Structure 1
């Protein structure tokens, strides 16, 4: 007999996923301890669990998975083969439909290309205090993507509008936004993506107290800090409209002492949904307005799961002794704001917990 933990490790299905499939009647353990409620699985159920893992990765609907496993070990495999063929046809049709829709979307983007490109060809010169620029870059740097398949996210957006210089970075799972005031003359809207190595080189120059000058000339951006300079080409891509992705300041808000909250996160329980998945911290706000790191048995319907490491990074980037956490529905992004500057913040996408 295998314990649920052993079956999870050997099959690639997480413990919480196995519990879900037990409740759904898909993969029921051979024996459940009547005292502890602990699940045990027969040796032959390992193969079923591995089949289930493959079907899950292939996106087969739950009713079909249930039929597949029911017929998997039987002598008549016609039903199993039919279900596989039907699901493959469904996936192929879906892919064909998606290709058609994507072609239409690319055609729409082609019509807009000239207008978007113009924002990268504007000239701008402005100055801002080095300390404020450094703090803004530090706030967003942790959220920059390292995915080579998404080069448009491999840098920091510099969004200049009037006397406001905004910075944004995202890797799809988290996003950070910061802004500083800058002095300039007749600055037209400019939006460029500064590649990560260049942004880091700029940050390395921002050690003094005085003002620095930022210049954008077409697709080239330059930072002058005294007698030192960092300059280079911007990325030839379009950054997503981050302002449309920003959540409203709604939900349950709680002020947290960052040092104490970090300690609670590091000492508290973490979860994983399946083998190889990131560690999760599960949070909720209690009746007193305090953010609680949920224990394993806490089944509060309003609890929110979030990537443990991403949350620690966001707290560090917030650079404050106290921060405001906004927790909405379990499927809503988590907001992290500064009490004294709500225009500088980060959001983290929640992770769905298996029921």
Structure 2
């Protein structure tokens, strides 16, 4: 015979549960001391107690558990009771899924949505103007920020060393919204987007936004204190490519620099000139500058110079897009 504590350990039921099942007639002890009231269970009742524990964990009603314990000598009969309860659970789960789906739909309909409609060419050009600046550093959001305004869609990308911003005219219906999306989700002919802060639909396909706070790009966008110089894209690219390479090592990687003299217009400068007069020169990552020049196709760009420690802005006024390149300190 087993005391109630031993029975609890052997079956997985608590002592209080065993007392409850005794009162409910589910599992009656083999004997009860008439003086002390101590319950004792026969060894062959352990099997029944374990069955009770399993069936209660899946929510089988007490009446059916009593029937299952009574039918324990006939495993087939117990199996019928288990299958019946399992079917009831499956039906209940299907009902719960339908109800929760309806609740989710109602909630989504209550969230204000913003619809953006534009030409596929405009969307592709705007994305192309910023995609090169998407970062891979896990410390920042490696995606493209989409921000809506009054009849305008703005895209922004940054990898800490450069920032690209481009805007395009679009039909915008709904409140302003900001979402960050993975660049691969923006491929293809896109003409219609539906945006909420937590859900985005592109051409009918749902896309999950990237969670987190995108860097405050507007903090860097300000009127430069230095000159604005109109440059010929082809001529500047040729001058940059012809310039002898100056290498800089940073955070374990090596990259080439391009040094610009900002004293009178824009011209290439040597490392010696840079060293002799830091205040009249600005140095940026050569590859980043070439990528920024490749984005513009208008033939002319405006370089906005903010001195040797401010970012260099490469501005395409015709297409309302620009890149900011962080300067390299001497």
Q: Same fold (TM over 0.5)?
A: yes
Question: Which residue of structure 2 lines up, in the alignment, with residue 315 of structure 1?
Answer: 293
For the aligned residues, what is the CA RMSD? 1.9
TM-score, length of structure 1 as denominator length: 0.57
Question: Which residue of structure 1 lines up, in the alignment, with residue 159 of structure 2?
Answer: 171
Higher relative contact order, structure no. (Cα contacts within 8 Å, ≥ 6 residues apart)? 1
Unaligned runs of 5+ in 1: 1-120, 207-211
The size of the alignment, in residue pairs, is 215
1:59-100: CA deviation from partner (whole Å, max 9, x where unpaired): xxxxxxxxxxxxxxxxxxxxxxxxxxxxxxxxxxxxxxxxxx
Q: Distance in 1 between matches of 2:116 and 2:248?
A: 48
Which one of 180, 195, 201 corresponds to residue 216 of structure 1?
195
Question: Which residue of structure 2 lines up, in the alignment, with residue 148 of structure 1?
Answer: 138
Which one of 253, 258, 266 corresponds to residue 281 of structure 1?
258
Deviation at 1:350, TM superposition (A): 0.1
Q: Residue 297 of structure 1: SS of its match in structure 2?
A: helix
- Structure 2 CA distance for partners of 1:324 and 1:234, relative to 1, 3 Å: same
Q: Distance in 2 between matches of 1:319 and 1:169?
A: 19
Deviation at 1:277, TM superposition (A): 2.8
Deviation at 1:122, TM superposition (A): 4.4
Q: Distance in 2 between matches of 1:184 and 1:191?
A: 13
Q: Distance in 2 between matches of 1:160 and 1:122?
A: 14
How does 1:1-355 map onto structure 2 within 5 Å? Answer: 122-150=112-140, 153-185=141-173, 187-199=174-186, 201=187, 204-206=188-190, 212-224=191-203, 230-274=205-249, 276-287=253-264, 289=265, 291-298=266-273, 299-300=276-277, 301-341=279-319, 343-353=320-330
- Does the 8 Å contact 1:255/1:325 carry over to 2? yes
Q: Residue 135 of structure 1: SS of its match in structure 2?
A: helix
TM-score, length of structure 2 as denominator length: 0.61
Which structure is larger by alpha-carbon Rg, 1 or 2?
A: 2
Q: Distance in 1 between matches of 2:113 and 2:241?
A: 47
- Structure 2 CA distance for partners of 1:276 and 1:143, relative to 1, 3 Å: closer
